[in-house]
Amino acid sequence: MKRALDILFGTVAIVCLSPLLAAICLAVFVSDGSPVIFRQERIGKDRRRFRICKFRTMKKGVGDVAKKDLQNYADCLIRGGHFLRRTSLDELPQLFNIVGGTMSFVGPRPLIPQEEEIDRLRAEQGVYAVRPGVTGLAQISGRDNLSDAEKAAYDAEYVRTQSLPGDLKILWKTVRVVLRRENMAQESDK
């Protein structure tokens, strides 16, 4: 049932948001050329690797580096990149991951392979039994202010208690968290 709803609502969202998707593509292209989509390897369901899609917000040549590892983060962003990240509009291409079956609207956020500690904690707690999500329980429960152990615990709780009403509640709270910019690391952080 959840997979069918992901396909249905993902497809509807892509169609309805296509003018916005096109406008963001154009803005990224004008700001820093192609490619406009950033693809990165992540860990998915059953620990299978997949490529997540996002709008590119970093300048060409920055490479696949964590924000905390950049010397001057703000200088690495393309024009408009800060806005895309702050509003989470850079996440919209993940709708294609949802329709393609590598992600869901709600589930634990997919990790990059280098996040070894939280990967280990998630594996121990059975988190990889579900598809990763664009948003999840950890994102509405503290997001960037949580330790790896806390994030893994929230992810495990989601796996144990997941339901359609629970997913709808997480989606609703996600809108509030994003609009209020709650529990987000500041973009000026290095």
Domain ranges within the chain, ordered by starting residue: 2-180
Distance between CA 153 and CA 146 in Å, rounded?
Answer: 10
Give the per-residue pLDDT at 175.
87
Average pLDDT over the chain, rounded to an integer: 89
Give the per-residue pLDDT at 189.
36
Mean pLDDT confidence for 44-71: 83
Give the per-residue pLDDT at 188.
39
pTM as predicted: 0.86
Distance between CA 135 and CA 129 in Å, rounded?
Answer: 16
Confidence tier at 184 by pLDDT (50, 70, 90): low
